[in-house]
Structure 1
C-alpha cells in the first residue's frame, strides 16, 4: 500500500480537490479519464443528479470507483450507498474495481476495503461506502448525512420501489447521485431520467462507437451476431433504449443525435420564426428562429402571455436579424389559436407600417385540416398539428435539422404520443392529454414546428 503523502492531509489541499475532481483523479488516483469520463465526472461535481445511459465497455465501473474515492477523500463523514441489480455486478465488478483503484491511489492508506464496507480508518462507523444489492425495498433506506452519494450501477435494472427511498435522502445540498447503465428497459425511473424527467437530471448518452475504450472488433461482433438494426446493438453498442414504443411519435435518439451544444456559425439566406403564444399560466411563449430551414437558433422564452409585449419582442428579433444580415427573406408564423391572434395582427401591422417587404407574416393554426406531408407519403395526418410535427420528424429522421441543445425541448419532442384513428390517419396527442400525464405543454416543440412547416403545396424543398 502506498503511504499517504502528508500534503494530502492538509485542509487547503483537501478543499482544492473537493472543487477539482479531475485533478484529484489524475494526481491522486493516478489515471487520466477520457473526454467522455471527464465530462461525467464534472457533472457529478457540479450537479445533484447525473444519469448516464451507454453502450457496453465505456469504463463505467472505473468512473464510479473514482467518484467514490473523490467523495470519500474530499467530504467529511460521507455516506456512499452503492447498488446494482445483482450481486455479481455489484461485488464482482464495481466493488472489486473500487479496491483496485484504492490500492494504487496516493491516499489509499487512509481507507480500508473489505467485502462489506469501504471506510476511513479513523472513522469506520461514520465515514464509509457500502454495497447493497438492489433486491429488497429497504436496500437503500436509512442513509442520512450532510454528504451523501448514491452510486447506482446497471441502473435500468433497479426497480422503482428500490429507488424511491433515494429521493428522500437527496434533500441536502451536499447530496449527489450517479446512475449508470445500459438502457435495457422502456419503463421505470432510469428510463424517465432520460425522457419525462430529464429536466431534473443531467443526462448523458454515450454511444460506444464514440468511446476510445470500445474496440471495433467488439462492435463488429455484435453487428455480425445480431444485426445493426437489432435491440442488442441499440442497447449494447449505441447506448439507446430498445425500439421506441409504437405510440412515441418522434424517437428520442433522433432528437438527441441532432441536438448540438455548440450551434453552427452560419450566414443565413433566409430566416423563419415560429411564435407559440402561451395560453395558460404555466405555459411559455416561445420565439423560435430557424436559419435556412435547417439550423435552429436559441429560442427566446417568455413566461407571460401579454400579446403586445410579445409582438414587440418579435419586431425586435426581426430588427436584429435585418441589421445583421440585411433584408433577406424572413417569415413569422404565429399560432393564432387563441391569444396569438392579437400577436399576429400587431406584428403584421408593424411590418406593413415600416415597409418591411422582406418579411412575410403567416397565420398558423394547430388542429386545422390534415392530409399527407408529401405526395409520396403512405400515411395521412388527421390535422395540421400532425403535419407540422411530422415535418420535424422527417427532418430529424434524415439528419436535415440541427437543434439547439436543451433538455426541455428534447423531452417535449420525444414524449408526444400518437395513435391511428378510425380513419387510419395519424393523430397526435392533445396538449390537455399530455398535461394529464404530468408533462408540460410542448411550447418549444410547437414553436419549432411553426418555424419550419411548409404547406404541402410548397414543400418541394423538403422532399427527402
Structure 2
C-alpha cells in the first residue's frame, strides 16, 4: 500500500470516528506492540468515559450542549493517558479543532501533562499530522497552524484571557483541567462563561485526585452534579495499578483515612492537611433545624462583614446562641450611610444586644452609626487576641466557630457558607500559636473571600450580655444615655 493510499485510509477512518472517540482510540494505536505491548486497549474506565463523550455527540439533542466529564480518582489509574487519547482524537477527527489544557501548577503541566499528551500523539497513526512541543500540538498545515491546535496554558486567576477566548463557532472546543482540585474557582467561572458558542461541539474534561473538599471541582460531584458526568474511581478497581502498594497504604493508614480516601478511593477528604474546620463538623450543622427554646434565651448579635474588593459581597449576619443566619447580602457598596441604615433596621427588627462590624472596611459604617446614636463595635481581625494560643483576633474567632459547630451550632442551607467555613487553612508557626490564613492569602491560592463565614466569626468577637430593659428602652427612644461598650476580652 502506497503512502498516499495509507493517508487516504487514515483520513477516512478519522472522518468516521468524529463522533466516536472510543473507536478511534482502539484503531489509532498499535495495541499489544512496542510501548503498548502490555495493553490490549484503553482501561475499562477509560473506555467508559470515551464512550460517554461519543454517546453525547451522536445524540442530536445533546451534541451541541457542553459535554462535561469529571473524574475524581486515586493514584495510578491512567488519567494522563486518557487526556492524551482524547486530545489526539479531538485534533485528528475535526479540522480546526481548538484544545486548551491546563493543570494545577505549571510544573504539573510541563513535566507530566504535556509529555503524556505528546506521547499519545507520537504513538498515534496521525503522528505526522501535527508538530508536538512543550507548549503546544499544532497542525503542520501552515494554513491551519493557528486554528488547529492544542495549547498547554498555565492557569492564573489574574490572567484568564486564554480561557475567556475559547471560541470556535461551528467547530470543536476541548478544555482539559488536569489535577483540577487546585485550579482557581475564577478560572472555572471564566471558562464556563466562554463555552457558549452555538452549533459547536464543546467538551470539558476535569480530572484529578480529590485533594480539596471545597471548590468547583468538588462541586462537580455535589452542587453541579446534574451538569457533569461525574464519577469517582477507586484505584483498587483499575487494571494495572500497584495493588501491593495500595494494600500497604490501606493497612498503614486505614480504609477510612483521608490519605486512602484521596490517594486510593477517589473520595474527597473529610479534612485536608491544613484545613482548620472539618467537612464533618460543617455537614452536621448544615441546614440543621433548632427549636426556638434552644437559642431564644441567648443574646442576639448582629454582624457586618463589608466587601473587601469589587467582586466580594457585603454580608450582614445574626447569631443567637446555637443559631446563625444570613440576614442580608449585597455587592460592595461604598455608601456607608446606606449600609448603616440597613444595619440599623436589622438591629431594631431583631432587638439585637450587640452589633459587631469588621473594622478593616467598616469604619465608615460605624461612624455613620454613631451619627444615628448607635453603639456599634468595630472588630479588627488583625488585632490582639484574648486567647494566648491564637496569634490574632481572626484566629480566636475562627477557633470559636469550630468549637461552636462541635457544640451543636446550626447554619442555614447555604452552599456558599458551607464551603467558606471549610476553606481557610492553618499557617504553620514555630511557636505553635494558631494562625488562620488571611483573605489576601486565600485569594492568592484562588479561594474567594469568605465573607459569609467571617460574618459568623464576628459574632464571637467579644462576650455579649442581653440588654437591660432600661438600655433597650433608651435605644428605642433614641436617648444617648450610654457610652459605647468597651469589650474587655480578659473580663
Distance 1:81 1:423 in 2: 44
CA distance in 1, matches of 2:126, 2:27: 10
1:318 aligned residue: none
2:8 is aligned to 7
| Deviation at residue 102 of structure 1 after TM alignment | 1.6
What secondary structure is seen at the aligned counterpart in 2 of 1:49? strand
Report how far residue 245 of structure 1 moved.
3.5
Assess if the C-alpha contact under 8 Å between 1:52 and 1:181 holds in 2.
yes
The equivalent residue for 2:43 is: 34
Instruction: Give the structure 2 partner of residue 63 of structure 1.
Output: 82
1:213, distance to aligned residue in structure 2 (A): 2.4
CA deviations on 1:343-378 (whole Å, 9 max, x unpaired) are xxxxxxxxxxxxxxxxxxxxxxx999xxxxxxxxxx
- Conservation of the 8 A alpha-carbon contact between 1:160 and 1:188: yes
Q: CA deviation at 1:92?
A: 1.3
Question: CA offset at residue 90 of structure 1?
Answer: 1.1
- Offset at residue 210 of structure 1 (A): 0.9
Q: 1:250 to 1:220 in 2, by over 3 A?
A: farther
Distance 1:44 1:20, change over 3 A: closer
What is the DSSP-based 3-state SS (H/G/I as helix, E as strand, rest coil) of the residue aligned with 1:18? coil
What residue in structure 2 maps to residue 404 of structure 1? none
- Distance in 2 separating the partners of 1:423 and 1:118: 52
Residue of structure 2 equivalent to 1:48 = 67
Cα distance between partner residues in 2 of 1:422 and 1:165: 34
- What CA deviation, in whole Å up to 9, does each residue of 1:104-158 have, x standing for no partner? 2111111110122101111211100010112353253323213110011000010
What CA distance in whole angstroms lies between the structure 2 residues aligned with 1:16 and 1:63? 20
Q: Does 1:143 align with 2:143?
A: no
- The correspondence for 2:281, drawn from 242, 246, 249, is 246
Deviation of 1:167 after TM superposition, in Å, equals 0.7
Alignment of 1:367-378 (within 5 A): none
Partner of 1:189: 216
Residue 159 (structure 1) aligns with: 184
Shift of 1:203: 0.4
Contact 1:80–1:129 (CA<8 Å) still a contact in 2? Answer: yes
User: Number of paired residues?
Assistant: 273
1:25 equivalent in structure 2: 25
User: Is the 8 Å Cα contact of residues 281 and 405 (structure 2) preserved in structure 1?
Assistant: no
Q: How far did residue 171 of structure 1 move?
A: 1.3
Structure 1 residues 164 and 103 mapped into 2: Cα distance closer, same or farther (>3 Å)? same
Q: Which moved more, 1:181-190 or 1:216-225?
A: 216-225
Contact in 2 for aligned 1:3/1:106 (Cα 8 Å): no
Aligned to 2:139: 120
- Cα offsets for 1:19-55 (capped at 9, x unmatched): 2211100111334112111111122332611111111
Q: Give, in whole Å, the separation in 2 of the partners of 1:141 and 1:117.
A: 18
Residue aligned with 1:83, SS: strand
Give TM-score, length-normalised by structure 2.
0.50
Tell me whether 1:93 sits opposite 2:112 in the alignment: yes
- Matches of residues 2-401 of structure 1 in structure 2 within 5 Å? 5-10=6-11, 13-31=13-31, 32-45=41-54, 46=56, 48-122=67-141, 123-135=144-156, 136-138=158-160, 139-146=162-169, 147-172=172-197, 173-243=200-270, 244-249=279-284
CA distance 1:229–1:175, shift in 2 (3 Å): same
Larger Rg: 2
Q: Deviations 1:390-429 (Å, cap 9, x if unpaired)? A: xxxxxxxxxxxxxxxxxxxxxxxxxxxxx999997797x7
TM-score computed with the length of structure 1 as normaliser = 0.53
**2:88 and 2:124 in contact (8 A); partners too:** no
Contact 2:164/2:193 (CA < 8 Å) preserved in 1?
Answer: no
Contact 2:10 / 2:125 at 8 angstroms: preserved in 1?
Answer: no
Q: 1: distance between equivalents of 2:16 and 2:159?
A: 38
Looking at structure 1, the residues matched to 45 and 406 of structure 2 have their Cα atoms a distance apart, in angstroms, of 48
SS of the aligned residue for 1:64 comes to helix
Q: CA deviation at 1:250?
A: 11
C-alpha distance in 1, partners of 2:285/2:48?
Answer: 27
